[in-house]
Amino acid sequence: MTELLTAAQMRAIEQAAIESGQVTGLELMERAGQGVVEAVFEEWPALDRRRASPSRSPGYLGPDEEDPLRAVVLCGPGNNGGDGFVVARLLRELGWDLKVFLYGDPEKLPPDARKNFELWGSKGDVSIRRVDPPPLGDDYLQLPPDFDLIVDGLFGTGLTRPFQGIFSLLSIEPARNLIREHNVRVVAIDIPSGLCADSGRVLGNVIMADLTVTFHRRKVGHMIGDGPVGCGKVRTKSIGLECQDSAQAVQLVSEGNRSVTKGVRGHKYAHGHALILSGGAGKTGAARLAGRGALRIGAGLVTLGVPPSAQLEVAGQVTAIMLRRIENADGLAEVLQDERLNALCLGPGLGLRRARELVPVALAAGRATVLDADALSGFVEAPEALFELLHEDCVLTPHGGEFARLFPDIAEKLSAVPTKGPAYSKVDATREAAKRAGCVVLFKGPDTVIAAPDGRCSINSAHYERAAPWLATAGSGDVLAGFITGLLARGFEPMQAAETAAWLHVECARQFGPGLIAEDLPEQLPSVFKNLNIR
């Protein structure tokens, strides 16, 4: 598992290392600054004018490079500002021209940041600015007319209040126009100033970065909310801290913690039998998509339960998927007497009335159950009635609208404009929802969050190198429900099934690429499995 940290967790790890004598705060700050410079040169090699020849000084400029590169470094009143002074010093040693701003009182800087302020001040000028700005009409920021890089070392993960006044000037005109016109690159230290490190939500304003360099571990805010948009690219640099796993840390779903290998022995029933309930005539496509997904992901058998009006329609569309007539609650109860049906899926194309009739029967059977779409919307007038029926082997898969209807008070907190940090996050919301429902909740989106009632939580991110915007297509959620159901049929526990299915869902989309429609998703699984060396 890959941990994602909150700001408080990261501070605790750093403090523990300092108190143990493993490292000093100054050493951590120096390593962070070095990491930023390394990441900048890795991302934009044209900015690296160092020469390998030992006869040349570190800051040597070749004859064709007499005009030095220029950077503006914005340093805030905390340790993030101290990192900024280290970056400025290292760039100056490489021959860069620097214009450095400190927003705050040098006398009030934390000790390590103050030391790096003094180290820089012995070699270069610092423009000290008050935190309270003059009228916006004044040229307060005083950006030079021609420069190559902005280093945002204002607040980082320490932001606890809205980003306002002078601190937001880079988010408004004319500074933003200046950056665009000159193709200036913006690198943020740890997280763009104005972005909450715990929630990815914007506090007031944000300095949009092209590159964000964080340390030790990515933070939760890099992966959810507005984080992926505000951060540009994210690079993680080691600063020599030891790994300290936390039971309550949010996990990033990755290839390393997904396992879908089938045993080499056993017959089809050994891999489970999934039952997926369908709606009436003209409404069966969603259930068929879910059924195909369940079968492709490895369920031994998949049966579609359809009302009489849809039997001919479904029979003409399926082959390996089986068909069973289920007209009403009594019919479902009769079918569920077959205990080999060990995983159920209700919701895709089911219809609200049929959902309200069948969901209680399905949940009373105590089988592993996925509730999606209509199975959730059918209970929005009385969600408590649904929660009373749920059990620990259930997985709820709401999108944003369904989540808001099922958990209106939680959604209200999530949609409120944050006035302080850490802001209420999608992670907080999903954890709270899972605890209330008493089962796993998968809150869909490009930043899918999955939580269990015991507080375990993970994020399946379709951002950065895993971006798959073409997943926003009709029916993709139905396939995801089928993936989860198929894994439940195979014996996966609910949290693992939800995480694995969500990760494979994105991988299938990336495998196919633009032009994807929902029908394509299950058909990518064989190639994805082959690439993962799954036999």
Strands 394-396 and 2-4: unpaired
Residue for token pair 């390590």: 112
68, two tokens: 């030095």
Together in a domain, 57 and 120 = yes
Edge to edge, what strands does the sheet with 394-396 contain?
2-4, 250-252, 457-461, 447-451, 440-443, 394-396, 368-371, 341-346, 273-277, 301-306, 322-325
176, two tokens: 């933003």
Give the span between the Cα atoms of 25 and 31, in whole angstroms. Answer: 10
CATH code, 54 = 3.40.50.10260
Together in a domain, 311 and 162 = no
Closest CA to 173 of 194, 216, 143: 143
Domain C-terminal end among 194, 216, 249: 249
At residue 91, the pLDDT reads 96
Give the span between the Cα atoms of 496 and 491, in whole angstroms. Answer: 10
Evaluate whether 441 touches 402 at the Cβ level (below 8 Å).
no
Together in a domain, 83 and 210 = yes
Together in a domain, 474 and 456 = yes
Q: What angle do CA 189, 195, 198 make, to 5 degrees?
A: 95
Give the span between the Cα atoms of 405 and 236, in whole angstroms. Answer: 37
Together in a domain, 347 and 389 = yes
Domain count across the chain:
2
**Ranges of H-type helices in 7-127:** 7-19, 25-43, 79-93, 111-121
Together in a domain, 413 and 513 = yes
pTM attached to this predicted model? 0.92
Residue type, 234: V
User: How many Cβ atoms sit within 10 Å of the Cβ of residue 364?
Assistant: 14
Together in a domain, 224 and 280 = no
Domain carrying residue 416:
255-531
Q: Counting beta carbons within 10 angstroms of the beta carbon of residue 107, is it exposed (0 to 12), middle (13 to 18) or buried (19 or more)?
A: exposed
Together in a domain, 263 and 224 = no
Q: What are the start-end ranges of the E strands in 248-300? A: 250-252, 273-277
Evaluate whether 489 touches 294 at the Cβ level (below 8 Å).
yes
**Ranges of H-type helices in 129-219:** 175-181
Give the span between the Cα atoms of 81 and 102, in whole angstroms. Answer: 8
3-class DSSP state for residue 379?
coil
Evaluate whether 85 touches 79 at the Cβ level (below 8 Å).
no
Which residues, 6+ apart, have CB-to-CB distance to 512 below 8 Å?
A: 470, 520, 521, 524
Q: What angle do CA 57, 37, 252 make, to 5 degrees?
A: 155
CA 237 to chain centre: 19
Domain C-terminal end among 249, 278, 302: 249
Together in a domain, 191 and 268 = no
Give the span between the Cα atoms of 58 and 62, in whole angstroms. Answer: 12
Is the C-alpha dihedral spanning 337, 338, 341, 345 positive or negative? negative
Give the span between the Cα atoms of 481 and 289, in whole angstroms. Answer: 9
Together in a domain, 310 and 233 = no
Together in a domain, 180 and 315 = no
pLDDT (tens, 9 = 90+) of the chain, 535 residues, equals 689 999 999 999 999 999 999 999 999 999 999 999 999 999 999 999 874 434 444 444 444 456 889 999 999 999 999 999 999 999 999 999 999 989 888 999 999 999 999 999 876 677 776 545 444 334 445 566 678 999 999 998 988 888 765 555 554 455 556 566 667 899 999 999 999 999 999 998 888 899 999 999 999 999 999 999 999 999 999 999 987 666 689 999 987 555 666 554 577 878 999 999 999 999 999 999 999 999 999 999 999 999 999 999 999 999 999 999 999 999 999 999 999 999 999 999 999 999 999 999 999 999 999 999 999 999 999 999 999 999 999 999 999 999 999 999 999 999 999 999 999 999 999 999 999 999 999 999 999 999 999 999 999 999 999 999 999 999 999 999 999 999 999 999 999 999 999 999 999 999 999 999 999 999 999 999 999 988 7
420, two tokens: 């302080």
User: How many Cβ atoms sit within 10 Å of the Cβ of residue 382?
Assistant: 10
Together in a domain, 218 and 271 = no
3-class DSSP state for residue 535?
coil
Domain C-terminal end among 249, 279, 299: 249
At residue 68, the pLDDT reads 87
Closest CA to 73 of 154, 186, 129, 151: 151
Evaluate whether 427 touches 433 at the Cβ level (below 8 Å).
no
Evaluate whether 96 touches 122 at the Cβ level (below 8 Å).
no
CATH code, 290 = 3.40.1190.20
